[in-house]
Amino acid sequence: MSAVTMPRVTSAGFIQDLEARDRRSQLGWYDDEAEVSIVCRGQRSRQHLRGKSAIGEWIDQTCSSCRAVRVVYHVEHNNEMTVIAEFQDHDGAYGIYSCVAQVEGGVIVSQQVVLQ
């Protein structure tokens, strides 16, 4: 039996998939048990997601609601990746997506997202 080698997450790859709104590729960057915490403008509570199934549903919903995404800032340092992007929804409204992701073993294990 041969082992499948997954690519290591990089900001360049993550950015490419984010801007392309490539749902399947985005989900591939996450560990099976990854955790994502999301804060949306105007909401008082955080949304907590755990595992690829829940994260995949969120990615599908987010990609479906966006018409365009453009990364304006990114940096990688040690095991952390930070990305800030502008997005436009189908109604023409603009927003800001910012995230800080912790990477272990080449995959995202934890991520904090703020949508404004």
For the entire predicted model, the pTM comes to 0.85
At CB < 8 A and 24+ separation, what contacts does 3-10 make? 6/106, 6/107, 7/106, 8/103, 8/106, 8/107, 9/81, 9/101, 9/103, 9/106, 9/107, 9/108, 10/76, 10/81
Looking at the DSSP bridge assignments, the partners of residue 88 are 68, 94
Strand pairing report for 30-40 and 47-50: antiparallel
Q: How many CB atoms lie within 10 A of CB 61?
A: 11
For residues 6 and 107, the model is more confident at 107
> What percent of the chain is predicted at pLDDT more than 90?
59
For residue 78, CA distances in Å to 34, 48, 69, 106 come to 18, 25, 26, 12
- Is residue 42 very low, low, confident or very high in pLDDT (cuts 50, 70, 90)? confident
